[in-house]
């Protein structure tokens, strides 16, 4: 729809208010209601949105570690928010209320460097300048529980009841037992313009996987962010349901972590990754893209693993990689190459956890691949044909602090995403590490309280 068609639909909609949302540095969807008249005027001039959304953490605690873009030193002024009309959809579980995503600008016509969606737009612009159209999709895995917000707190997030018991991946039985939930999930997401290709149980108690249909990369990131929103609101079919995007849960230490697998295909009018004349079907462009992703991976790891918990997943045997590896259809590698045909040749990035900010993860996937093309990198890293966990070279940083320090001092990261973004983002990751380090965990208490 063009602008006039969207405005017409808004005016005809029975709601007098519009829901608008932004995505903060942690990937949390934040927003507010706007009166229809205010919203329509904002389409021309933009509107102010408090900069605090980039000045506090996911718990609304203000950063105190020299965050420059906003803070007490700026008075938490407003940033200019700009509505992206292409994100228009209605919310089917809120009586078809109109919904839009907005971007941020620091000044007129200048994107805000720390805005995740604006950063992805920057990467898209670089791809389009090179005459490429990046097409992405994603698969999400997450935990489902028969709990409420109150019951979780009462139990202190312990002994919580999963939606389905046992290690029952690809289970028709478990889906049939919860058919109302899965039906609502599939249908309502489709109505919310987050169309799924597939939906099934994964191995582990209450684990579900959903594959979102591929699209242009910005739309793919929007869909990934918006997938989480209905899942946290869908109590339609279930009396009580809570979901978790944690990469690894203490309750299920023997269970593989949850992830979002990101697929990338640069296109013009055809899949430029595919070369039928090559014995492995991989074009030289694909090999350079892959080489760039491998080279940049340890330099930008916090964009793929942004939390303390992310690194509990990146361990041996958890169906997640630990090193700079690639292989054809090899699920133990960081980058799994699928090169079976002209339509389907793509790269699956397996480092990415489900706790990421999708805009940042996709910007990192695309930006690092373009780095390889720009620098005409050769795919010198040998293919891993066996167990990737046994490869001892290129081991990735093992915790958020080390990964953040590497990115903070990385020339590659600053070249890819700009000094201002790298400075802000790595300081937010350092903050996350310091908040964790100041806490005394249950493990420490159980381990040391009586014995030491």
Contact 381, 293 (CB under 8 A): no
Structure tokens at 54: 């980039």
Residue 46 lies in a domain: yes
Higher pLDDT, 33 or 107: 33
Q: What are phi and psi of 205, to 5 degrees?
A: -60, 120
Max Cα–Cα distance, the chain, nearest Å: 71
CB within 8 Å of 275: residues ≥ 6 apart? 281, 282, 283, 284, 286
pLDDT reading at 263 higher than 80? no
Residue 374 lies in a domain: yes
User: Would you call 98 helix, strand, or coil by DSSP?
Assistant: strand
DSSP state of 395: B
* Residue range 310-345, pLDDT digits in tens: 999 999 988 889 999 999 999 999 999 999 888 889
CA–CA distance, 361 with 351 (Å, rounded to integer): 10
- Expressed in angstroms, the distance from the first to the final Cα of the chain is 67
Whether residues 88 and 160 fall in one domain: no
Pairing relationship of beta strands 97-107 and 17-23 according to DSSP bridges: parallel
Whether residues 64 and 212 fall in one domain: no
Residue 452 lies in a domain: no
Domain boundary among 112, 147, 165: 112
Residue 99 lies in a domain: yes
Whether residues 154 and 68 fall in one domain: no
What local confidence, expressed as pLDDT, does residue 259 receive? 47
Contact 144, 246 (CB under 8 A): no
Domains: count for the chain: 2
Whether residues 56 and 156 fall in one domain: no
CA–CA distance, 216 with 224 (Å, rounded to integer): 12
Residue 451 lies in a domain: no
CATH classification at residue 39: 3.10.20.70
Pairing relationship of beta strands 196-201 and 207-216 according to DSSP bridges: antiparallel
What local confidence, expressed as pLDDT, does residue 254 receive? 40
What local confidence, expressed as pLDDT, does residue 359 receive? 96
Residue 362 lies in a domain: yes
Whether residues 204 and 99 fall in one domain: no
Whether residues 158 and 244 fall in one domain: yes
Whether residues 232 and 362 fall in one domain: yes
User: Would you call 88 helix, strand, or coil by DSSP?
Assistant: strand
Domain boundary among 112, 144, 176: 112
Whether residues 144 and 276 fall in one domain: yes
Residue 125 lies in a domain: no
Whether residues 235 and 297 fall in one domain: yes
- 59, β-bridge pairs: none
For residue 246, name the pLDDT band (cuts at 50, 70, 90): confident
Contact 336, 347 (CB under 8 A): yes
Whether residues 15 and 152 fall in one domain: no
Query: Looking at the whole model, is its pTM more than 0.75?
Result: yes
* Residue range 185-223, pLDDT digits in tens: 888 899 999 999 999 888 888 888 899 998 999 999 999
Range of the domain at 305: 133-443
For residue 251, name the pLDDT band (cuts at 50, 70, 90): very low
CB within 8 Å of 191: residues ≥ 6 apart? 92
CB within 8 Å of 124: residues ≥ 6 apart? 134, 217, 218, 366
CB within 8 Å of 307: residues ≥ 6 apart? 247, 353, 355, 400, 432
Domain boundary among 58, 81, 112: 112
* Residue range 426-449, pLDDT digits in tens: 999 999 999 999 999 888 999 999
Residue 247 lies in a domain: yes
Whether residues 232 and 312 fall in one domain: yes
User: Which residue, 174, 161, 171, is CA-closest to 239?
Assistant: 161
């Amino acid at each position: 729809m063009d602008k006039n068609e969207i405005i017409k639909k808004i005016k005809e909609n029975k709601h007098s208010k519009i829901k608008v949302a932004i995505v903060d540095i942690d990937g949390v969807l934040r927003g507010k209601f706007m009166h229809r008249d205010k919203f329509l005027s904002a389409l021309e001039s933009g509107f102010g949105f408090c900069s605090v959304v980039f000045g506090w953490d996911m718990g609304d605690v203000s950063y105190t570690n020299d965050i420059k873009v906003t803070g007490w030193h700026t008075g938490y002024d407003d940033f200019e928010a700009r509505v992206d009309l292409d994100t228009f959809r209605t919310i089917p579980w809120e009586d078809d209320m109109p919904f839009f995503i907005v971007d941020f600008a620091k000044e007129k016509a200048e994107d805000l460097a720390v805005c995740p969606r604006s950063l992805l737009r920057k990467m898209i612009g670089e791809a389009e300048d090179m005459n490429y159209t990046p097409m992405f999709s994603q698969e999400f895995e997450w935990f489902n529980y028969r709990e409420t917000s109150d019951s979780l707190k009462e139990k202190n997030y312990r002994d919580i009841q999963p939606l389905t018991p046992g290690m029952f991946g690809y289970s028709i039985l478990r889906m049939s037992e919860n058919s109302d939930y899965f039906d609502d999930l599939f249908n309502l997401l489709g109505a919310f313009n987050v169309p799924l290709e597939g939906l099934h149980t994964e191995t582990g108690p209450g684990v579900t996987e959903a594959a979102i249909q591929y699209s242009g990369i910005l739309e793919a990131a929007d869909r990934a962010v918006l997938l989480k929103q209905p899942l946290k609101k869908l109590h339609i079919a279930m009396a009580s349901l809570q979901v978790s995007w944690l990469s690894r849960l203490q309750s299920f230490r023997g269970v593989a972590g949850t992830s979002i697998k990101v697929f990338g295909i640069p296109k013009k009018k055809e899949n430029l990754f595919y070369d039928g004349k090559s014995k492995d079907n991989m074009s030289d462009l694909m090999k350079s893209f892959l080489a760039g992703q491998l080279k940049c991976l340890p330099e930008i790891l916090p964009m793929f693993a942004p939390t303390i918990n992310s690194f509990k997943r990146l361990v041996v045997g958890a169906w997640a990689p630990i090193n700079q590896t690639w292989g054809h259809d090899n699920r133990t590698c960081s980058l799994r190459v699928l090169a079976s045909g002209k339509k389907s040749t793509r790269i699956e990035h397996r480092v990415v956890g489900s706790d990421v900010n999708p805009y940042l993860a996709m910007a990192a996937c695309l930006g690092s691949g373009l780095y390889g093309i720009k620098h005409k990198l050769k795919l010198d890293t040998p293919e891993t044909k066996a167990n990737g966990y046994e490869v001892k070279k290129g081991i990735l940083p093992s915790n958020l602090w080390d990964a953040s320090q590497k990115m903070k001092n990385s020339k590659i990261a600053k070249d890819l995403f700009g000094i201002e973004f790298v400075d802000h983002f790595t300081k937010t990751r350092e903050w996350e590490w310091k908040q964790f380090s100041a806490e005394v965990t249950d493990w420490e208490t159980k381990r040391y309280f009586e014995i030491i």
